[in-house]
C-alpha cells in the first residue's frame, strides 16, 4: 500500500513514517520542513519527500497513492493566532483542496488529523463524537470546517476519516515543548520545578503519539464500512482525561527532586473538557491503545535525562513552534505567508 503522509517532518509525522515503514507500507512524505532545524537527539528517517507547499498541491502530485494521512498544518493555537487568515488558508482551504485533489487522483482513503479542540469549551460531561462543536480558536474552527467540507466528498470510492486527537505527548525526533505534558516534564527536569501555567483545575484529554499513530495505521487497513466518513476521538480510555494539576503531581512523583510551582499570573483556562474514547476502542478494527500518562511521563523523563537536556536548550526556540517560525521569518527563510524563500527539504 502506498501512503502519502503530509506534515511528515513534524512532531507526530516523523514517528508515523517509521512505524508505517516498519509495518511494510511504502511511504512518501510531503512537507515544507518548517522544523528542519529542530531535531531532538537524532534526525527523521530519510525518505522520498515532496517539497510542496500544501497550498499548491495538484491531483497529479497524488497519483498512485492508496491513502493520504494528512497531518500538515499550523499545529497549535499560538501559531494559529499569528495570523488567523493563514490558519484558514493552510489548515482549512488547503486541506479541503488536498482532499479534493486526492479524490480526483483516485486515492481511496483520506485520514484527517483533526483534534478534540473542536469541542472547545465543553462543560463538564464526557464529550463523544456526537457532541456539539464549540471551538474557541481559529485552529479549532479550522478542524470543524475541514471535517464538514471533506464529508461532502465521501462516496463509494473515497473514504474520509476524521481522527480527533486528544492533546499529544511523548518522545519524538521532532519534539514539541509547547504541549502540556512534554512541557511540564521538561521544566521539571531542567529546573527542578513543575511549573503550572494555569490554576491546574481544567480537564484535558491526553494521548501518546504512538497511540495516535496506531489509530492512523488501523484506518489504513480497517474495512471501509468501519471507517467510512467516521469521526473517532483518539485516546486510550476515559481515565486518560486528567486535571492539569494531576498531571503536574504525576510529573513531580516521577522526576526526582522537583516541586510544584505556579507561573506568575497563572489563572483559569478556557480549554477545559473531558472526552469519551469508547467509540475508537469498540468500533475501529485493529486499534489497541497502549500508553498511559504515567508511562509517557517516565519515557519523557528518561529521554530528557539521557539527552542531557539543559535549561538553556529547553527555553530556546528549538522545541517551540511559534518562536521557530518567527526565527525563520526574521532570517528571511520564509515570508510573511510562511512560504519558503529557499528550496525545502
Ligand X SMILES: NC(=O)c1ccc[n+]([C@@H]2O[C@H](COP(=O)([O-])OP(=O)(O)OC[C@H]3O[C@@H](n4cnc5c(N)ncnc54)[C@H](O)[C@@H]3O)[C@@H](O)[C@H]2O)c1
Q: How many residues bind ligand X (CB under 6 A)?
A: 29
Instruction: Kindly state the smallest distance separating residue 322's Cβ from ligand X, in Å.
Output: 10
Cα 68-72-76 angle, rounded to 5 deg: 140
Q: How many beta carbons lie within 10 A of that of residue 203, not counting itself?
A: 18
Q: Can you tell me which of 13, 170, 202, 235 binds ligand X, judged by CB under 6 A?
A: 13
By the rule CB under 6 A, 254 interacts with ligand X: no
Site string (104-123) toward ligand X, x via CB under 6 A: ---------x-x--------
Q: Can you tell me which of 75, 137, 217, 233 binds ligand X, judged by CB under 6 A?
A: 75
Q: Can you tell me which of 39, 45, 53, 229 binds ligand X, judged by CB under 6 A?
A: 53
Instruction: Measure the CA–CA gap between 188 and 35, rounded to whole angstroms.
Output: 24
Helix (H) or strand (E) holding 148: helix 138-151
Q: Based on CB atoms, which residue is closest to ligand X, 115 or 258?
A: 115
Q: How many beta carbons lie within 10 A of that of residue 324, not counting itself?
A: 21
The answer to whether the beta carbons of residues 170 and 147 sit under 8 Å apart is no
By the rule CB under 6 A, 31 interacts with ligand X: yes
User: Cell 521532532 appears where?
Assistant: 174
Cell numbers for 103: 479524490
The answer to whether the beta carbons of residues 159 and 226 sit under 8 Å apart is no
Q: Based on CB atoms, which residue is closest to ligand X, 33 or 135?
A: 33
Q: Based on CB atoms, which residue is closest to ligand X, 107 or 258?
A: 107
Q: Based on CB atoms, which residue is closest to ligand X, 258 or 321?
A: 321
Task: Give DSSP secondary structure letters for 112-126.
Answer: EEEEGGGG-S--SSE
Partners of 290 in the beta sheet? Answer: none
Q: Based on CB atoms, which residue is closest to ligand X, 68 or 74?
A: 74
List CB contacts of 242: < 8 A, sequence separation 6 or more: 203, 204, 206, 250, 293
Q: Can you tell me which of 3, 28, 73, 325 binds ligand X, judged by CB under 6 A?
A: 73
Cell numbers for 43: 534526525
The answer to whether the beta carbons of residues 27 and 46 sit under 8 Å apart is no
Q: Can you tell me which of 5, 105, 179, 219 binds ligand X, judged by CB under 6 A?
A: 179
Q: How many beta carbons lie within 10 A of that of residue 200, not counting itself?
A: 18
Instruction: Kindly state the smallest distance separating residue 116's Cβ from ligand X, in Å.
Output: 7
Q: Based on CB atoms, which residue is closest to ligand X, 73 or 255?
A: 73
3-state secondary structure of 225: helix
By the rule CB under 6 A, 49 interacts with ligand X: no
Q: Based on CB atoms, which residue is closest to ligand X, 75 or 198?
A: 75
Among the listed ranges 30-38, 242-250, 287-295, 297-305, the one in contact with ligand X (CB under 6 A) is 30-38
Q: Can you tell me which of 17, 25, 29, 35 binds ligand X, judged by CB under 6 A?
A: 35
Instruction: Kindly state the smallest distance separating residue 173's Cβ from ligand X, in Å.
Output: 11
By the rule CB under 6 A, 33 interacts with ligand X: yes
3-state secondary structure of 162: strand
By the rule CB under 6 A, 138 interacts with ligand X: no
User: Helical H runs in 228-334?
Assistant: 244-254, 278-283, 293-307, 311-315, 321-330
When CB distances to ligand X are compared, the closest residue is 10
Report the interface residues with ligand X, using CB under 6 A: 7, 9-13, 31-35, 53-55, 71-75, 90, 113, 115, 165, 167-168, 174, 176, 179, 321
Amino acid at each position: 500500500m502506498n501512503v502519502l503522509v503530509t506534515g511528515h517532518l513534524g512532531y507526530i509525522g516523523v514517528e508515523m513514517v517509521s512505524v508505517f515503514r516498519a509495518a511494510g507500507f511504502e511511504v512518501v512524505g510531503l512537507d515544507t520542513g518548517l522544523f528542519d532545524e529542530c531535531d531532538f537527539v537524532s534526525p527523521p528517517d530519510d525518505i522520498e519527500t515532496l517539497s510542496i507547499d500544501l497550498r499548491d498541491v495538484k491531483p497529479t502530485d497524488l497519483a498512485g497513492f492508496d491513502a493520504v494521512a494528512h497531518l500538515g498544518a499550523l499545529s497549535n493555537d499560538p501559531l494559529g493566532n499569528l495570523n488567523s487568515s493563514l490558519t484558514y488558508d493552510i489548515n482549512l482551504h488547503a486541506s479541503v483542496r488536498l482532499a479534493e485533489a486526492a479524490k480526483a487522483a483516485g486515492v481511496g482513503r483520506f485520514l484527517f488529523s483533526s483534534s478534540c479542540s473542536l469541542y472547545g469549551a465543553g462543560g463538564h460531561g464526557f464529550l463523544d463524537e456526537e457532541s456539539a462543536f464549540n471551538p474557541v480558536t481559529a485552529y479549532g474552527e479550522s478542524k470543524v470546517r475541514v471535517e464538514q467540507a471533506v464529508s461532502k466528498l465521501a462516496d463509494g470510492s473515497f473514504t474520509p476519516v476524521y481522527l480527533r486527537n486528544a492533546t499529544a505527548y511523548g518522545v519524538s525526533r521532532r519534539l514539541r515543548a509547547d504541549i502540556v505534558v512534554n512541557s511540564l516534564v521538561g521544566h521539571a527536569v531542567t529546573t527542578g520545578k513543575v511549573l503550572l501555567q494555569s490554576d491546574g483545575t481544567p480537564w484535558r484529554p491526553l494521548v501518546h503519539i504512538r497511540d495516535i499513530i496506531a489509530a492512523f495505521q488501523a484506518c489504513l487497513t480497517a474495512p471501509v464500512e468501519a471507517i467510512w466518513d467516521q469521526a473517532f476521538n483518539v485516546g486510550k480510555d476515559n481515565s486518560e482525561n486528567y486535571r492539569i494539576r494531576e498531571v503536574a503531581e504525576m510529573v513531580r512523583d516521577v522526576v526526582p527532586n522537583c516541586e510544584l510551582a505556579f507561573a506568575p499570573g497563572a489563572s483559569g483556562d478556557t480549554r477545559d473538557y473531558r472526552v469519551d474514547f469508547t467509540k475508537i476502542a469498540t468500533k475501529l478494527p485493529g486499534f489497541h491503545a497502549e500508553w498511559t500518562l504515567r508511562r509517557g511521563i517516565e519515557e519523557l523523563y528518561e529521554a530528557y535525562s539521557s539527552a542531557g537536556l539543559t535549561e538553556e536548550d529547553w527555553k530556546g526556540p528549538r522545541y517551540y513552534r511559534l518562536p521557530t517560525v518567527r526565527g525563520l521569518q526574521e532570517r528571511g527563510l520564509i515570508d510573511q505567508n510562511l512560504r519558503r524563500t529557499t528550496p525545502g527539504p
